[in-house]
Amino acid sequence: MLDVSAGRGAMSAIEIDAELRNALTRFRAARPQQSGLERELDAVVLVSDVGGDALLTMDGRLIQDSPLDGVTEITSLSSRRVVLVLGAQRIPELARVLPTRASGAEDCDSCGGGGWLRLKPDFRIPCPRCGGMGWLDDEMRQEFANRALNRPGPRPGR
């Protein structure tokens, strides 16, 4: 079995109750063909594009199967939210695991609070800055701060 637990301690699992488990199982069964990874990880492909597949395992982990990076756990909060927002379009029960807007959240300036970026008149994607939520909460602001602190490159004063 693949080990995709690296970094798992920092990310909490998505709580999958019986209703969501049933919806995921129905969705997976309705797909014409399941991948070997879906069977191996007991997972459901939520998003599939040129960057690979994003899967939700039945134990609540979000996994990325990328042609460049292989199989890894999705640890970026914004990426996790984007995957769930896109998955909820196909499996409406997933919307229940998305966060609700906290009182201190601010509208996302990248998408104007709408959660989506329109790339063409007929094509839009979830905003990568807010994860498709339309707002930034303390968790997202902390993630941005951590990214800025851990950005590779020359250090000041050197």
Q: For 105-150, write each residue's pLDDT tens digit.
A: 999 999 999 999 999 999 999 999 999 999 999 899 898 888 888 7
pLDDT for 36-80, tens place per residue? Answer: 899 999 999 999 988 889 999 999 999 999 988 899 999 999 999
Which residues lie closer than 8 Å to 134 by C-beta, 6 or more apart? 107, 108, 111, 113, 114, 115, 127
> Residue 111 in contact with residue 134, Cβ under 8 Å?
yes
Question: CB of 1 within 8 A of CB of 40?
Answer: yes
Task: Report which of 62, 60, 77 is spatially closest to residue 133, judged by C-alpha positions.
Answer: 77
Cβ pair 37, 102 in contact under 8 A: no
Q: What pLDDT sits at residue 7?
A: 42
Q: Which residues on neighbouring strands pair with residue 135, listed in sequence order?
A: 107
AA identity, residue 107: D
DSSP three-state, residue 82: helix
How is the chain split into domains, by residue range?
A: 1-98, 101-152
